[in-house]
Amino acid sequence: MDRCYKSVPDIEKLKYHGKLLKPDIKIFVSHRIDLDSTSIIDPLYIPVRCGSTYDEREGITMLGDDTGENISKERMSFCELTVQYWAWKNIEADYYGLCHYRRYLSFSRTEYPTDAYGNVLEQFIDEETIKKYGLEGQAAEEIIGNYDLILPQAQDVSQYPEKYSSVWEQYVCAPHLHEKDLRLTLDIIKEKYPAYVEAADAYLNGTKAYMCNMYIMKKELFFQYSQWLFDILNTFKERVNMAGYSAEEIRATGHIAERLLGIFVFYQQLTNQNLSIKELQPVVFLSTGKKDGGESRLVSDFTIKPAFQSRNIPVVLSTSNKFAPFAATLIQSIIDCSSPEYNYDIICIEQELIPENKRRIKAIRKNDNVSIRIFNVKFSEFLRKSELNEYISVETYFRLFFPYLLTEYRKVLWLDCDTVVRRDISELFNTDIGNYLIGATRDYNATALLKGADPEYMRFCRDELHIDGAYSYFQAGVLLMNLHEFRQTLSFDEMLNQTQQCQYPYGDQDILNKLCVGKVHWLDNRWDVIADVQDYMSNFLQYWDPDKTYVDYQMVKRDPSIIHFAGPTKPWHSPMNAMADCFWEPCRKTPFYEIALCDMIRDMKHGVQRYEIQAEKPIFVKCEGSFFAKGFRCLKENGLKYTLLKVWSKILGRNN
């Protein structure tokens, strides 16, 4: 994307856009100093670096919050409020606003669909979206001048997926936030601003919430709010005990301010009947640009180019801290089976990897024809865990969106982290899939389900996914993706909307099957062979699909090109699980071997090994108690569907 929106350092230049804005409206946009983020050139918006006193970059022209009277050094705890303070103390305007580098208020007269948290989701800040949401002086001026206060639409937290009973509960249930801090804030309000107690109680005990410290206020109201807000926050800072708080927990001051904005608004509504308020939809942009050590950015402001100019075999996988050892094992297996005739371009997409895990992945020994790169993306901003299948990690959904990240690639190979490669993947990558969206293998498990093992899922596939026939569903653990056709056929927004339409039993795999019906090139099933733990897959297929699927599975599992450890039972739970040796062989060569080994020993000690390879062993986890007690434990760990299938398999075994 062309970078046509850059910051302008001179506020006087920002005041003019053909004519002087009347009234003088300034919306201060808080930008992070670790992100090279896109700005909107318009007199309405003034981009300001939050915590700019810590910015060590050279040649930065964007305004900073460290001039004049400021609290720039408080950025770690006050967050974007350092920008508000700077504007309050140093800038003259008729209206003051605050928003963020990726969060804006929509001035469009059109009401757009939102996610479960009230956000309008958009990918890029560009000419089209600026016009779409009225993010320009003329459109905004018509609205702002008619109101005293403009806020993001109030959200009903009881309608959030978590079903909070109050704003108070929504705060105390949030990770890294502490109820004692909110109680301290209330004590300060009672002591210094007793007139606000009624509003504080009403707001915090209600379900209506104003989120994200976003607003536009007339000058008099803004000065009143800032004086009140920073007096409370400074007193809070003096009295709070944050000993032992993490960097995220220290941000509590900024989170407290979010609740204080709502309390202030409630108080104004109680005491000023003439106050005019307008609520606007908040728009969140995914692609605003991020830089982290030169390699970690968001989608729009960087391009991932092929690592090699020729004979490039691109492989994409997503990982997390939990799965980092297994991602490393997969990478090592790719290297072990690589050919000197090709170059292997391995791209790891992540959202949370700690530096040590990044270092270990990069420390994997490789030849000159292997590149390992790690990119941080924030797809999860739009994939709240609570909106998705609770048994599937957020990272697995990244395969839906990386086609719009890798715009320089026409075709890539996607591999799940719970796979290991047993043959050179250049053979798979070089498969001609024509104009099909995807090259994939048929899912044996789904075939059985669609043949009658799960009538409910069979109906779901027919009615929701429009899958016609038991052999038309593919396994998404190994995908050869035609990115060019993907981008031509499906937009980012279309893909995003699919994640929010309904609860998909198999998450992103169901979504891809729905979108790719009739557009799949079927691969040899050796390229995605599910490990046959305790002969579960064999028994399952033999009962529900005793024809070609069962025979084919018996053949491919004897000579797999890629082994997929799908399901809850993994080789890192027990070395006795089926094909576990194929995992541990490459794992021993990685910097994660000792970590994986220690984790396995700990898991085995606590009974996480679940099902073992020996046929005479019980199906359920080894534990004391009756068949029903073991079944209950399996139900707790693996869910109802999986447990029922295991029970049925055990019954069949007894009858045999």
CA–CA dist 252, 264 (Å, integer): 18
**CA nearest to 653, candidates 534, 558, 480, 529:** 534
**In which region does residue 505 sit, left (phi positive, over 0), alpha (psi from -120 to 50) or beta (all else)?**
alpha
Residues 169-192 pLDDT 10s = 999 998 889 999 999 999 999 999
Q: How does strand 438-442 pair with strand 520-522? A: parallel
**CA nearest to 514, candidates 437, 451, 454, 409:** 437
pLDDT of res. 353: 85
**CA nearest to 311, candidates 172, 430, 479:** 430
pLDDT of res. 566: 85
pLDDT of res. 340: 95
Main-chain phi, psi angles of 291, to 5 degrees: -130, 130
Residues 409-445 pLDDT 10s = 999 999 999 999 999 999 999 999 999 999 999 888 7
Task: Reduce the DSSP state of residue 533 to 3 states and report it.
Answer: helix
Q: What is the dihedral of CA 38, 39, 41, 44, to 10 degrees?
A: 160
| Residue 243 burial class via C-beta count within 10 angstroms: exposed 0-12, middle 13-18, buried 19 and up | exposed
- Owner of token pair 């995908």: 479
CA–CA dist 440, 512 (Å, integer): 11
pLDDT of res. 631: 53
List the end-to-end C-alpha distance of the chain, in Å, as a whole number. Answer: 63
**CA nearest to 15, candidates 2, 24, 5, 4:** 24
Total Cβ atoms within 10 A of residue 419: 26
Q: How does strand 45-50 pair with strand 63-64? A: parallel
Burial letters 440-466, b for 16+ CB under 10 A, else e: bbbbbbbbbbbbebbeebbebbeeebe
- Owner of token pair 């447990």: 643
**CA nearest to 562, candidates 429, 446, 432:** 429
Residue segments in the chain with a per-residue pLDDT below the cut of 50 = 1-21, 289-302, 380-388, 390-391, 608-629, 632-633, 635-637, 651-656
CA–CA dist 392, 519 (Å, integer): 25
Strands (E), 472-567: 474-482, 520-522, 529-530, 562-564
Total Cβ atoms within 10 A of residue 618: 14
CA–CA dist 528, 477 (Å, integer): 7
Q: How does strand 474-482 pair with strand 419-421? A: unpaired
CB 198 within 8 A of CB 270: yes
CA–CA dist 252, 268 (Å, integer): 24
